A and B are shown apart, each in its own frame.
Chain A
Amino acid sequence: MTIKLNIHKTHRQYTDGLETLDVAGSTIGACIDELIHRFPAMKDALFDGKEKLKNQIEIYLNMESAYPDELKKKVTAGDEIYITVMLTGG
């Protein structure tokens, strides 16, 4: 069961420059667990000290916002996840 994860540019420094990777999991959270297993620095990039997604992180599943309770959202083979970052500059 392959899920495609898209990594935002600001996080590619933690994924050896990888822009996308295929992971397995039944929820977005499980897919992110695999991402962190392969690239441990992604944990601090995505989560605060209380295991909560950082406020500026946005997750989209199949081009739709996964908010709220993003990590619990179910995924199936062929799904695509985007992990992006809120932009604030002007």
Chain B
Amino acid sequence: MKPKLCAEELERYDRQIYIQDIGPAGQEKLKKAKIFICGVGGLGSPAAIYLAAAGIGEITLVDYDEVVRSNLNRQVLHHEADIGRRKVYSAKEKLSKLNAHVVVTTGCDAVTAQNAKRLVSGHDVIIDALDNPETRYILNKAALDLGIVFIHGAVNGFEGRIMTVIPGKSTCLRCLYRGPVISTPKFPVIGVAPAVIGVLQATEAIKYILGIGELLTDRLLTYDGLKLKWREFKVRKNPKCDHCGRMQEGRQS
């Protein structure tokens, strides 16, 4: 059943409904969509803000962390008064104030191989806004197993990268895997880097939901904020990938 847009929503989204590729039908698709954002930090904050502003119907936020002062240079959903609060509650409050039409669901779980599929099940898109490779791979596997589009983003310093994974069709995060990478809990970063990448992740999610444009599949887009240079590297699906190697094309469109 198509969700109907009320008069207030039609006014709120007027400028994007005015985009030929969206229109009222596209806006209804956005309202019907359910997006899972894993990590409500540097990447998750801008992604969630713009997805809520765009009128995504349901957004699920999962993060077990609490807000600390050193988050505030980049995690723009959290304010000084939120220090000590669970990030998901802080984020839900801001997103609900931004757009009361969006249903925001929260979870304080640490994503594990045991719970990942249960957490992401039923969503149309997963935004990988995590800060460590181990959990990214767990999420990548869950996305592939359930046929959910997975939008990877990562940052360091002034740099970032993004790639979209269509299960069964395009290169997944694990296809280039050479072995475990140990991440340090503290990585250097300035807020403008995850802002750029998080908004691109939201852009990819919106395009996928609407079925418009070209998704960033089989391409790794890298961003160097210091030089303001973008590079696009072609990547290939690995037939021996232990996550997607045996998946058949066409399983998920």
Q: A residues near B, CB below 8 A? A: 9, 53, 55-56, 58, 60, 63-65, 67-68, 82, 84-90
Contacts and interface: CB of A to CB of B under 8 A. Distances in A.
Interface stretch (B4-12, B153-161, B245-253): B153-161
Contact of B181 (A9, A55, A67, A89): A55
Given A55-B178, A64-B235, A90-B155, 13 more contacts: A9-B157, A58-B176, A64-B233, A85-B156, A87-B156, A87-B159, A87-B161, A88-B136, A89-B42, A89-B154, A90-B39, A90-B153, A90-B194
Given A55-B180, A87-B155, A89-B156, A63 B189 contact: no
B178 A67 contact: yes
A90 B157 contact: no
Interface string B121-132: 000000011111
Interface in B84-99: none
Nearest to A86: B181
A89 B235 CA distance: 21
B187 interface: yes
Contacts of A86: 133, 154, 181
Contact of B176 (A65, A85, A89, A90): A65
B164 interface: no
B236 interface: yes
B114 interface: no
A41 to B, nearest CB: 20
A85 to B, nearest CB: 8
B133 A88 contact: yes
Contacts of A53: 178
Interface residues of B, number: 41
Nearest to A19: B227
Contacts, number: 76
Interface of B: 39, 41-44, 128-133, 136, 153-157, 159-161, 176, 178-181, 183, 187-189, 194, 220, 222, 224, 226, 231-236, 238
Given A55-B178, A56-B181, A90 B232 contact: no
Contact of B234 (A65, A85, A90): A65
Nearest to A63: B233
B137 to A, nearest CB: 11
B231 A90 contact: no
Contacts of A58: 176
A88 B181 contact: yes
8 contacts: A9-B159, A9-B224, A55-B181, A58-B176, A63-B233, A65-B176, A65-B234, A67-B238
A12 to B, nearest CB: 11
Contacts of A68: 178, 238
A88 B187 contact: yes
B160 A87 contact: yes
